Chains A and B, each alone.
Chain A
Amino acid sequence: MDDKIYILVVEDELEVMDALIKDLEEFESYFPVEAANNADEAREVIDYIIDHDHKIGLILCDHVLPGQNGVDLLIDLQNRPEVAKSKKVLVTGQAGHEDTILAINKADLDHYIAKPWTKEDLEKVVVDQLTDYVINNKKNLLPYMAILDTEKLSDAIRTNQMTDH
């Protein structure tokens, strides 16, 4: 069962995309990172990942994109069952109130990071979100103890063992 769990970054400004990817470097050995510059490309990448029987654990999405904007993309993705379980985080300086509320209500948004972000904040969010994801979608949680939230994972392992009887 070698399905990998991907982190998808959707951002059109190359320097920002670069910076995000760089901040995610430490996760890459466990969670490979893919990037897209717009909504259409994001869908292509998602298709590619799903077609190869991999999963998408986390989507870090900017709001201001050429063509369809980030919030609308996230809302659309709710219609794809494989992606519905992925954790969704908006990373943006420019989603207004209404857009954000829409994302929360209709796109099941899990978190919102305002630009500019600090590496520490980003890492914390990624760890939290991916920990939740693996707990809910993976049977074997041990491999992730080193990189994700160790305590939460231990608790989950214990709970799983108890309910397995």
Chain B
Amino acid sequence: MKSNKHIPWLNDNKTILRFIRKLITELDELQQQLLELNEGDVLFTQGEPLEDVYLILEGEVRLTRTQADESDVTLTKLSAGNFVGLIAFTTGEPTLTTAKIMEKGLALKMKPQQFEQYLSDHPRLQHPLQQLMLNNMIQRYKSNIRLHAKTHLLNKELGKERDDLKKAYKRLEETQQQLIHQEKMATLGELVAGFAHEVNNPASALLRSAENLIEIYSTFEESDSTYKLFKLGLQSVPRDSTQLRKQMLTIEKQFPWVHDRSSVRKLAQMPENALEIIRSRRKKQPVEELINHFEAGRMIHNIRIASQRIANLVKSLKSYSRQDQNKEAYVDIRDGIKDTLLVLSNRLKFVDLSLKLDDIPKTCVQVGDLNQVWTNLLINACDALDDSGKISISTAHSENHITIEIGDNGPGIPPEIIHRIFEANFTTKNQGAKFGLGLGLPISNEIIQQSGGSIKAENLEAGGAKFTITLPIISDC
């Protein structure tokens, strides 16, 4: 601030104060306005209309303000050379603050009318007082600016803290989601295990009954030829619709005396030696009867195959989930891979699967967890291939490690994201993906890491993606 060149000492509060104090000793009426300030006294309380203004000559006054929540904030401390109650004095509004004496001292107390009077009676007082007031105002203004700057900084810090908090909250939410997902999976696993167990019983019953039926049925067969037909039926291999259609045309020519189309179709399912028997018995038995013996064998064969399929699925499901023992087991990992393939056979229906499962030593692993990894990788591959294409799985080993590779001939992993695919919640599947929380690969990664192994993803030159899992060979669990 530029100093007043004409009267330099007017910028100096101390000097001005000395001048005023000198004046006061000379002027009686001013002397009468002197007020002793005693520690603890309150000059005025917030919200009061003010009738006087005070000029502190000695001592200290503290200005406080009571907030809406009834807490008190100390705004400033005023000492010699400061006016107290200046705002109220100049604006006529009630005080914004409460003024309390902190250190005892002396003040000059003035009423507005008195103030005017002094100024007109003692012109020498005018400038110093005005200058003092101005200086006071300037101080307050400077203080204001500083406070603004400080508030702005505080706000920025607050903003940053808020952002940090938001991030932490989001991470918490993600963790919660993960936990819920794991919980769901655990429950699902239990349901699956329970289901597998339940289905196992009727499946076994089916299988046993089919076998028994075969034994009993063979005692029904009267003639050699009908029993042969039955046995041929037991071994029959179903023909697909193209073969069937072709064969039906042949049968129509070879068996013109068979008019019923469904009989023609059944004959079309038969191998040549069965047809021979039919031809030879033509005169002795109606063809429908002969056909039924073959059909009986064929139907029982279907039952046998179907129940075996159920039993295998159940066995793989149980072994796959291994809910009963999620501790480590000393196993050939290839069994788990095969179980997983069987369990996923529906998904893999139109996938061209190529397996090169070379011999590998047994090792200690968490079977259930590892199966989860295979499932995740296979399902990802199926998704990438849109369910039709090629998936290859191979196993190999070195002295200390087992390597498993799962590759596909899909579009591959976009190079810009390949380094992020093991991150939690990074998913390229849209909503509607079954169980797609983007947690599959991170969880798989975690499982492999925990087994002391590593998993790596790369794109193949010929196109498609390949995941390589390396696991240490551990012989004691």
**A positions within 8 Å CB-CB of B:** 14-15, 17-18, 21, 25, 28-29, 32-37, 41, 45, 64, 66
Q: Is B242 an interface residue (CB 8 A)?
A: yes
Q: Which of these, A28, A41, A45, contacts B261 with CB under 8 Å?
A: A28
Task: Given A21-B265, A25-B262, check contact A37 B241 (CB 8 Å).
Answer: yes
Q: Is B238 an interface residue (CB 8 A)?
A: yes
Q: Is B372 an interface residue (CB 8 A)?
A: no
A-facing residues in B282-311 (Cβ within 8 Å): 302, 305-306
Residue-wise interface mask of B (235-249) relative to A, using a CB-CB cutoff of 8 A (1 in contact, 0 not): 000111110110000
- Asked if B245 and A34 sit within 8 Å, CB to CB, the answer is yes
- Asked if B302 and A64 sit within 8 Å, CB to CB, the answer is no
Residue-wise interface mask of B (374-387) relative to A, using a CB-CB cutoff of 8 A (1 in contact, 0 not): 00000000000000
Give the number of residues in B that approach A within 8 Å (Cβ atoms): 17
Q: Is B350 an interface residue (CB 8 A)?
A: yes
Collect the chain A residues with CB atoms within 8 Å of residue B6's CB.
none
Q: Which of these, B238, B244, B260, B262, contacts A15 with CB under 8 Å?
A: B238
Collect the chain B residues with CB atoms within 8 Å of residue A18's CB.
238, 302
- Asked if A66 and B241 sit within 8 Å, CB to CB, the answer is no
For the residues of A in contact with B, the DSSP-based class is: mixed
Task: Given A34-B245, A64-B349, A66-B350, check contact A29 B240 (CB 8 Å).
Answer: no
Task: Given A15-B306, A64-B349, A66-B350, check contact A37 B262 (CB 8 Å).
Answer: no
Q: Which of these, B241, B305, B349, contacts A17 with CB under 8 Å?
A: B241
**B positions within 8 Å CB-CB of A:** 238-242, 244-245, 260-262, 265, 302, 305-306, 349-350, 388
- Asked if B242 and A41 sit within 8 Å, CB to CB, the answer is yes
- Asked if B261 and A35 sit within 8 Å, CB to CB, the answer is no
Shortest B348–chain A CB gap in Å is 12
| Complex-state Cα separation, A45 to B246, whole angstroms | 12
Shortest B383–chain A CB gap in Å is 16
Task: Given A15-B302, A66-B350, check contact A41 B262 (CB 8 Å).
Answer: no
Collect the chain B residues with CB atoms within 8 Å of residue A14's CB.
238-240
Shortest B235–chain A CB gap in Å is 15
* Given A15-B305, A28-B261, A33-B265, 14 new contacts (CB under 8 A): A14-B238, A14-B239, A14-B240, A18-B238, A28-B260, A33-B261, A34-B245, A35-B244, A37-B240, A41-B242, A45-B245, A66-B349, A66-B350, A66-B388
